[in-house]
Copies of this chain bind each other. A is one copy, B any other.
Amino acid sequence: MAIDHLDGRIIVLLAEEPRIGVLEMSRRLGVARGTVQARLDRLRSNGVIRGFGPQVDPAALGYPVTAFATLQIRQGQGADVRAHLATVPEVLELLTTTGSGDMLCRLVARSNADLQRVIDRVVGFDGIVRASTTIVMETPVPLRVIPLVEQAAREGRPAGA
C-alpha cells in the first residue's frame, strides 16, 4: 500500500515509455532485473497498478464533446438508474455523490447536437427526477496520476527498502 522511491520510478518510467520492458527498466534504474520484476508483481497484486489497458481517446473515436450531468434520483430507484446508465455507451463514468445531486455522470457525444440525444437517452428513465448538464470546454489538466505517485513515493520509505 505504501510505495517507495524505486516503485515510484518504475511507475513513472512505465508511464513515459510503456513499451519499455523489464530488462531495459532494470538497466535504467540500475537494479537487477529480478528486482524490477518482483516490484512490478507486488505493485500489481497490491492493486496499485490495475493494468496496462490501451488508453482510448473518445475524441479520436468521433466523440469530441464531453459533459457532466448531475442527476437527482427518486428515492429507492438508485439501483435501477445505475443499471440503466450502465447500458449507455456514452456514459463513461457514473459516481454517487454527497450534496443535492445524487449522481454525477460523465458523458461524451459526437457533437453538441448529439449531446441532446445522449442526454435524452440518459434521463429518459423513470427514476430520474431532474438532471442538469455542464459541457466541458477545455481540459487544462487531463486525467493524471503521476504527480500523486511521485508524492506517494517521496512520503514512503526514504529510498532503499
Q: Which residues of A contact B (CB under 8 A)?
A: 1-3, 11, 14-15, 18-19, 46-63, 66, 68, 82, 85-86, 88-99, 101, 103-104, 106, 108, 132, 134-145, 147-152
**Given contact pairs A53-B52, A141-B93, A148 touches B18 in the complex (Cβ within 8 A):** no
- A48: contacting residue among B50, B60, B88, B135, CB under 8 A: B60
Q: Are A52 and B148 in contact (CB under 8 A)?
A: no
Q: Are A14 and B138 in contact (CB under 8 A)?
A: no
- CB neighbours (8 Å) of A99 from chain B are 132, 134-135
**Given contact pairs A62-B2, A142-B93, A14 touches B137 in the complex (Cβ within 8 A):** no
A144 to B93, CA, bound (A): 7
**Given contact pairs A68-B104, A86-B141, A135 touches B57 in the complex (Cβ within 8 A):** no
Nearest Cβ distance between residue A15 and chain B, in whole angstroms? 5
A138 to B103, CA, bound (A): 9
A148 to B60, CA, bound (A): 12
A88 to B145, CA, bound (A): 11
Q: Are B98 and A137 in contact (CB under 8 A)?
A: yes
Nearest Cβ distance between residue A123 and chain B, in whole angstroms? 16
Q: Are B62 and A57 in contact (CB under 8 A)?
A: no
A106 to B51, CA, bound (A): 22
- CB neighbours (8 Å) of A150 from chain B are 89
A127 to B91, CA, bound (A): 32
